[in-house]
Amino acid sequence: MSRDMGQTGAGKVVLRGLAFHGRHGAYQEEAVFGARFVVDAELHYDFADLPDELARAVNYAAVYDQIAQIVTAERWKLLEALCGRLCRALLADQPQLSAVTVRVHKPHAPLPGVFEDVYAELHLNREA
């Protein structure tokens, strides 16, 4: 397969709908019983000329494991804080990433009404 060398571009790999049981929220009951949380992660990096070698790419199996560990083992009161933790951890552990967007959904948030979803979203760029 021929490749045009020397081109740069922005691409992204998306992990969507990663579901976990976590104990996040402002209420004590949420810490005790926990709930379902769903995470989407957009991994931004230039892979236009990436060779077909796993060692040169973002390892999204490792990204999944890292997200799972944080969401299931840590406790956060705010979705926004959990989003920040996930973004910073991914940027720290995946040097190929130029930016990351993370959404943390809380589909069963304790709200007094009918709703489809509640989520926090954060996009962070790697500092130069």
Catalytic residues: 106
Q: Distance between alpha carbon 69 and the CA centroid of its chain, in Å?
A: 12
Q: Which of 37, 60, 21, 48 is nearest to 118 (CA)?
A: 37
What is the C-alpha to C-alpha distance for residues 43 and 11, in angstroms, rounded to an integer? 8
Contact indicator for 102, 121 with CB cutoff of 8 Å: yes
What is the C-alpha to C-alpha distance for residues 85 and 90, in angstroms, rounded to an integer? 9
